[in-house]
Amino acid sequence: MKSLLLKILAGLLLLIAGLVLAVAVVNRKDEAPSAAAQAMKRIVEARESVADGDNAYVYILGFDAPDDSDALASGHERVEWLRKFMATAGPYQFPNPPGERQDLSELRNPEFRQFAAICKRDNRSCLEAMESDRLRLQAWVQRDAKLIARYQGLLAFTQWREVWPNDVRAPVAPLSHVLEAQRLMFIKAWLMASNGDAVACKQLLQRDLQFWRMALAETSSLVFKLVATSAIEQHFALGNLVLRSLPPAAGISSIPEAWLVPMSVRERSMATVMANEWAFSERYMTPSAMASYLEGNDDGAESGSLVSRLLAKLLLKPQATVNATAERMLSVTQLSERDYPAIPDAAKALLASQEFAKKDITSFRIYNPIGGILVDLVDMKPFVGYGLRIADLEGGRRLALLAAQLRGQNVSLENVSASLSVAGLRDPYDGSAFSWNAKESSYVFRRTLSGKPDLKLAF
C-alpha cells in the first residue's frame, strides 16, 4: 500500500511538474504590438500639451477656490504642487493638494438643491419652478454673482488638456461646482430674457455651447467626456427655457450659431477616451506593477517578493494583455464614429459579440492567464452605453432647435403634433418625427439606446 501511495504521489508530482513546464513553454514569449495597440498608441502620442495659462483644465482645478481668489492662479498653484508630488510619490500614493475650498451652494442652500433636482429631472417642472418665484431667482443670482462670473471666465478658454490623463493618482476636479455655476448662469440668462435682453442671451448661449463642444472634442478623460455631455444636455434643456422667455421673433433671431451646427464625429468620438483607457492599462498591467499592487507595496518597480515577481513575469504577458485591451477599445471607438442610422444595429451586435460576452471559469487560458483575467474583469458594456449617451446629444440639439423654430413660427398648441410630422429636423437614428406629449405639452426625443429617460422640452 505504501509503495502504491508513493507511486501515486510521484505521478502527481510529475503531472504538476509537466503542467508547470507546459505553462512555462507556452508563456515563454510575449506578443508583438498589434495593429489596434499601435493605433491606440498613435492617438495618445498625438496629444500635444497646452500651456497652463491657456488650459481650461487648469482653470477648473482652481474653480472651488474662495470667491475672492483667482481661479486660474489657484489652479496653477495646485498643478505645480501636484507636479512635485507626482515626481516623488509612489504609484499608489494619492495626493491631497493644499488650499482652501468653498462648498457648493446646493450644499449650503436646501431650496437651491431642491430646485436643481427638479431641473435635472423635468424641463416643464423646472419652468414652473422658475416662474413661481422670480424674486428668489434674482436673490440667488445676486448672492452667487462671483461664481457666475468665474464660470463665464471659464467659457473664454478655447483649449483643454488633462495634465495627467492616465495616472490613477490624478485629482478629481471640482466638476459639481462647474455644473452648478452653469445652472446659475442660465437662471441669470432666463431673467435677462424675461427683461427682453435678447442680444446678451444669445451671446451667453453661444459661448456656453461653444466651450462645452470644444471640451467634448478635446478631452481624453472618460469622466470629463461625460461631464461635458451633462453640461451640453443641461445647456439645451435650460437654453430652451431661455429662448422661450423671449418674444417669438426675438427668440428665433437669438438662436445661437452653435445650435445650427450638427455634432461632429470628432466631438462624439470615443477615440481619445479609449486610447487613454488603453494607456492606463499599459501603464499598470506590467509584471512589476502587478506584483507591487498585489502585495500592497508602494516602493515602485523593484517591490514585491521574488515569488510574486516570478509568477507575474511567467503568467502575465504585458503586450498580449494591452493588445487584447486595445482590440476592445478600438471596437468602442469605431462604434462611436459610425453614421447615426448604423449605430443601433452595430451597438446590439457588439454587445452580443463573443468579445464583449461575460466570461466564466471555462474560459481560462494557458497563455497569459493573469492577463486574460485582467482583461475579462473590465466590463466593456458601460463604455458602449457612454458612447451612445454622447451620440444622443445630436437628438437633443435637433429637438431644442426645432422647438425654437416652431415658437418663432407661432405654431399653436393644437398644431404642434402635425408640425413635428413634417419638420425637417428628425430623430438622427431612424429619421422618424420627434414625439409630442400632449399631457405635458412637451417635445420628446426617445433616448432608448443609451437607457437614459426620454428628453422632454417644454412647449
In order, the DSSP letters of 306-320 are: HHHHHHHHHH--HHH
The dihedral through the CA atoms of 438, 441, 444, 448 has a sign that is: negative
Q: Which three cell numbers stand for residue 192?
A: 435677462
The tally of CA atoms less than 13 A away on the side-chain side of residue 342 is 7
What DSSP designation does 299 have?
S
- In the three-class reduction of DSSP (H, G, I as helix; E, B as strand; rest coil), residue 261 is classed as coil
How large is the average pLDDT for residues 166-175? Answer: 84
Q: Which three cell numbers stand for residue 413?
A: 398648441
Residues 213 and 263: their CA atoms lie apart, in Å, by 8
> Cell match 478629481: residue?
172
For β-strands 455-458 and 435-437, DSSP reports them as unpaired
Question: Could you give the dihedral angle defined by the CA atoms of residues 256, 198, 230 and 164, in that order, rounded to the nearest 10 degrees?
Answer: 70
> Cell match 452595430: residue?
346
- In the three-class reduction of DSSP (H, G, I as helix; E, B as strand; rest coil), residue 366 is classed as coil
Residues 445 and 459: their CA atoms lie apart, in Å, by 13
Is residue 36 within 8 Å of residue 323, measured between CB atoms? yes
Evaluate if residue 300 carries a pLDDT over 50: no
Q: Counting Cβ atoms within 10 Å, is residue 164 exposed (0-12), middle (13-18) or buried (19+)? A: middle
How large is the average pLDDT for residues 395-410? Answer: 97
pLDDT-based confidence at residue 18 (cuts at 50, 70, 90): low
Evaluate if residue 298 carries a pLDDT over 50: no
What is the Cα 335 distance to its own chain's centre? 16
DSSP string for 122-171: -HHHHHHHHHH-HHHHHHHHHHTHHHHHHHHHHTT--B---SSTT-TTPP
Residues 134 and 130: their CA atoms lie apart, in Å, by 6
For the question of whether the overall pTM of this predicted structure is more than 0.85, the answer is yes
Evaluate if residue 27 carries a pLDDT over 70: yes
pLDDT for 306 equals 56
pLDDT for 309 equals 61
Vertex 321, ends 317 and 324: CA angle to 5°? Answer: 145
Is residue 66 within 8 Å of residue 100, measured between CB atoms? yes
Q: Convert the pLDDT of each residue in 353-367 to its tens digit.
A: 888 876 665 566 788
Q: Which three cell numbers stand for residue 216?
A: 467634448
pLDDT for 370 equals 80
**Residue 264: C-alpha distances to residues 119, 268, 390 (Å):** 27, 7, 11
